[in-house]
Structure 1
C-alpha cells in the first residue's frame, strides 16, 4: 500500500492548522522618515502570513542553580508550531504573532523561533520550535 503524501499533507493542513499567524524577521537598513527627516529602521520583513497550528509542550531541562551549584531539574513551557510545506524556512529569532485562533486567548501573543524547522524523509508539514515572547493585554 502506498501512502499518499499530498493527501496526508492536505489532511494535516485542514485538521492540525486551524490558526492564522504572521511571521516576521528583522530587516537590515534604515530609511528616511519624510515627516521627521530622521533615519529610522526599516519595517520587519513578512516571511509567512497564513495557516498554522500552535501546540504547547513542556521542556524538561537540568541546570545548575543555587549557591551550592547543585543541578536543578526545571520544567519550562515551550511551543511547537506546525506549518504547511509551502511555508518558507524560518530562522532563529523570527517573530510569530497569532492573528486568529480557535483559542481566543492565543490571539495577539507573540513567540520567537528557537530552532530551525525540522526536516523529514516523508515531509507532510513543517515543525518549528518556539518560546513565548509577549502577551498583549486583553480587555
Structure 2
C-alpha cells in the first residue's frame, strides 16, 4: 500500500492547506456549577478543559433532510431540532469525545465572522477509517441559551 499512502499524503497536504483554514476550539463540557454574575444577573458557566485549538473547518448539511426533529424518551413531541454539521480537523488533532463542545474562534473570510462564537456538540467520537485524509466528527448545533461566546 506504499503507493496509496503516497497519494493520500498528497491529499492530506492539499486539504490542510485549502480546506482547514479556520481556527476551531474543542473543549470538554464544564463540570463545575454556574456562578451568578451580579452585574448582569446571568448565570455564567465556567469553561471546560480545552482539548484542541487549531486548524479546522465546520460544514453544514446541504439538504433539508440534514435537519431532523425526534422526540426524546417519554415525550411524544420533539423538543428541538438536530442540525447535522461536520467538523474537520487534521489527523494529528485529538479525537473529540461525545458531547465535547466545538467553537469557531477565528475565520479566514471576514464575511463569515458571524460564525465566531457559535458552538456545536459532538454527537459521537470522531470518525476513524483505515484510509483517512481528514478527521471528521458529526456535530449538532448547540441550541441552548448562552451557547454563543461573549465577545
**TM-score, structure 1 as length reference:** 0.71
Q: How does 1:1-139 map to 2 (within 5 A)?
A: 2-3=3-4, 4-26=7-29, 44-57=48-61, 58-59=65-66, 61=68, 63=70, 76-101=82-107, 102=109, 103-133=112-142, 134-136=147-149
Q: For 1:62 and 1:5, locate their aligned partners in 2 and report how far apart those are by CA, in whole Å.
A: 37
Instruction: Report the equivalent of 2:36.
Output: none
Structure 2 runs not aligned, ≥5 long: 34-44
**TM-score, structure 2 as length reference:** 0.66
More strand by share: 1
Q: For 2:27 and 2:70, locate their aligned partners in 1 and report how far apart those are by CA, in whole Å.
A: 31
RMSD over aligned Cα, in angstroms? 3.1
Q: For 1:25 and 1:113, locate their aligned partners in 2 and report how far apart those are by CA, in whole Å.
A: 10
Q: Which runs of 4+ in 1 moved over 4 A?
A: 27-30, 60-64
Q: For 1:46 and 1:76, locate their aligned partners in 2 and report how far apart those are by CA, in whole Å.
A: 24
Structure 1 runs not aligned, ≥5 long: 31-40
The aligned length equals 120
Please identify the structure whose Cα radius of gyration is greater: 1
